[in-house]
Amino acid sequence: MEFDAIVVGAGLAGLVATAEIADAGKKVLLLDQEPEASMGGQAWWSFGGLFLVDSPEQRRMGIRYSKELAWQDWLGAAGFDRDDEDYWGKKWAEAYVDFAAGEKRAWLTGMGVRFFPVVGWAERGGGLALGHGNSVPRFHIVWGTGPGIVEPFERRVREHMRNGLVEFRPRHRVDQLITRNGAVFGVSGSILAPSSAARGEESSREVTGSFDYHATAVLVASGGIGGNHDLIRQNWPSRLGQPPKRMLSGVPAHVDGRMLGITEEAGGRIVNRDRMWHYTEGIKNWAPIWNKHGIRILPGPSSLWLDARGQRLPPPNFPGFDTLATLEAIQKTGYDYSWFILTRKIIEKEFALSGSEQNPDLTGKSIRKVIGRALKSIPDPVKAFMDKGEDFIIADHLADLVSGMNEHTGDHLLNLSDVERQIKARDREIDNKFTKDHQITAIRGARHYLGDRLIRVAQPHKILDPKNGPLIAVRLNILSRKTLGGLQTDLSGRVLNSAGDPVPGLYAAGEVCGFGGGGVHGYRALEGTFVGGCLFTGRVAGRSIAAES
């Protein structure tokens, strides 16, 4: 064989696996259809949030946590209910929670990864202890965000490139897995024309040649379908209503899902095709890098959330609580957008934007700029969207705000008196320390957590009080992102066939295998588990290949 292993995809999972295989002295061929500038894949663009259990950061913030609580939350979110398709996903989930409660943090810090001291609280849940959501804050932001988590693995891979154990060939698109007697022993495909496209930009698909490489093992780490809206709509589950007619893309175009079909043709089994994770708080990027480029708002809990017709979304559909339930509620209105209404006081404290490029202070590891963020009224990236983004409307008076909202969509669905009635009713609930409004209760409860009180959740106040203004409305779009199903794998990362047996020589890691087993998250994710799933599956599969080859 020319190589001990071939890794298809130079995203985070592929880099982790490549590093692990080469660390064992094995020779690896790393292929990717994109230019070298895109090494690191989607993880580079991420906020770099990681799921950890009982970390020093949590203990310093006064968070009492245990592996048992983590597993309770995981099961409540996942809702595993398919004995066959969920069998390996559930096993991977249990292994991942053990990893997050065990050596994950020490493994990463040993490579130089550091964490922001304030732990975030994502996906706060649907209202019951055994249901969906994080019972405690557990979203650990990597110091350096996505690039900070990619860097140590890219560094290890490049060291092996220099010592001859890794050959990296960008612009090599795999079109087929080569099989013989049911076993995979290589790949063939097309050499694409050199491209100067920057990271994330769409690159040429001009073919200039072909290739054929052989290896003892082939690892597929090619990502999901988030950039392929046709494939998303094809697999869209009816339980979430009709698929959006209009969607923004949270990932570049090369996240196209091609390798899923190619691997299936070679005998791999795809499970849980209808499970996916898309965000409801997408805004159109005023400086797009890829087509339909959207950015997700990471909201605190205080904004009033209205559907396209101006009706307040019911519990648990509050900002930052239950992504999938909110997606379902929005899609079942018959419209694929919704609205936040908020105040300047709320946006000052509660709006953050997901992604490495939208957080230059954390990405650049600048303590001075992080402190400046806390002291400034509105973060600079958020202010840029307010000034230049098409989805923001700002007004001193509610009548002008609603008029601007109607003009923005052209649908003219919003009735001023109805919107005003709902906001005034909400504002009356602020008069007392007790309330029947679940969102007000949630805001007050969140402020019991020091991290939220300091930098994340505004003091409860009346939206229509002029001293809290101006008023702000944000049109929220559906934003494509993650594939929760995929290639079914066992706990060694081996791809299974329809009979449940490993396909000899074939492995998978990362999003292409549903972050483990064909669906480690079940129906819902707790956040901080996508990047972490790439780390864990890449490590496991890489070590398995190293031991076998």
CATH of the domain at 130: 3.50.50.60
State the pairing for strand pair 502-508/207-220: parallel
Do 392 and 518 share a structural domain?
no
Question: How many domains are there within the chain?
Answer: 2
Whether residue 249 lies inside any domain: the answer is no
Do 510 and 448 share a structural domain?
no
Contact of 244 with 336, CB cutoff 8 Å: yes
Domain boundary among 426, 455, 479: 479
Do 326 and 397 share a structural domain?
yes
Phi/psi of residue 365, nearest 5 degrees: 55, 45
Whether residue 240 lies inside any domain: the answer is no
Domain of residue 443 covers: 279-479
Q: What whole-number distance in Å separates Cα of residue 29 and Cα of residue 216?
A: 11
Band (293; pLDDT cuts 50, 70, 90): very high
Return the pLDDT at 377: 81
Residue range 153-189, pLDDT digits in tens:
999 999 999 999 999 999 999 999 999 999 999 999 9
Q: What whole-number distance in Å separates Cα of residue 175 and Cα of residue 210?
A: 10
Residue range 344-362, pLDDT digits in tens:
999 999 999 999 999 999 9
How much of the chain, in percent, has pLDDT values that exceed 70? 99
Number of residues that make up the chain: 549
- Residue 187 identity (one-letter amino acid): V
Q: What whole-number distance in Å separates Cα of residue 305 and Cα of residue 310?
A: 9
Residue 79 vs residues 98, 241, 327: alpha-carbon distances, Å: 19, 19, 17
Task: Take residue 33 and report the two structure tokens written for it.
Answer: 């259809």
Do 506 and 465 share a structural domain?
no
Return the pLDDT at 500: 98
Mean pLDDT score across all residues of the chain? 96
Whether residue 97 lies inside any domain: the answer is yes
Whether residue 379 lies inside any domain: the answer is yes
Can you tell me whether residue 145 is helix, strand or coil?
helix
Return the pLDDT at 549: 76
Do 404 and 355 share a structural domain?
yes
Return the CATH number at 337.
3.90.700
Whether residue 79 lies inside any domain: the answer is yes
pTM reported for the whole predicted model: 0.97
- For residues 434-445, average pLDDT: 96
- Residue 467 identity (one-letter amino acid): K
Task: Take residue 24 and report the two structure tokens written for it.
Answer: 């064992």
Do 526 and 436 share a structural domain?
no
CA within 13 Å, CB half, 393: 20
Whether residue 246 lies inside any domain: the answer is no
Do 516 and 377 share a structural domain?
no
Do 196 and 268 share a structural domain?
yes
- Cα R_g (the chain), whole angstroms: 23
Return the pLDDT at 399: 98
Do 128 and 67 share a structural domain?
yes
Band (366; pLDDT cuts 50, 70, 90): confident
* Residue 167: CB atoms within 10 Å: 16
Pick from 171-180, 370-379, 504-513: least confident = 370-379
Return the pLDDT at 2: 87
Q: What whole-number distance in Å separates Cα of residue 274 and Cα of residue 233?
A: 10
pLDDT reading at 371 higher than 90: no
DSSP category for residue 45: H
- For residues 315-320, average pLDDT: 95
Do 307 and 186 share a structural domain?
no
Q: What whole-number distance in Å separates Cα of residue 94 and Cα of residue 104?
A: 14
Whether residue 211 lies inside any domain: the answer is yes
- Burial bucket for residue 377 (CB in 10 Å: 0-12, 13-18, 19+): exposed
Return the pLDDT at 376: 66
Domain boundary among 479, 498, 521: 479
pLDDT reading at 372 higher than 80: no
Whether residue 252 lies inside any domain: the answer is no
- For residues 274-281, average pLDDT: 98
pLDDT reading at 373 higher than 90: no
Domain boundary among 479, 503, 525: 479
Do 489 and 424 share a structural domain?
no
Return the pLDDT at 1: 65
Do 543 and 435 share a structural domain?
no
Residue range 42-76, pLDDT digits in tens:
999 999 999 999 999 999 999 998 999 999 999 99
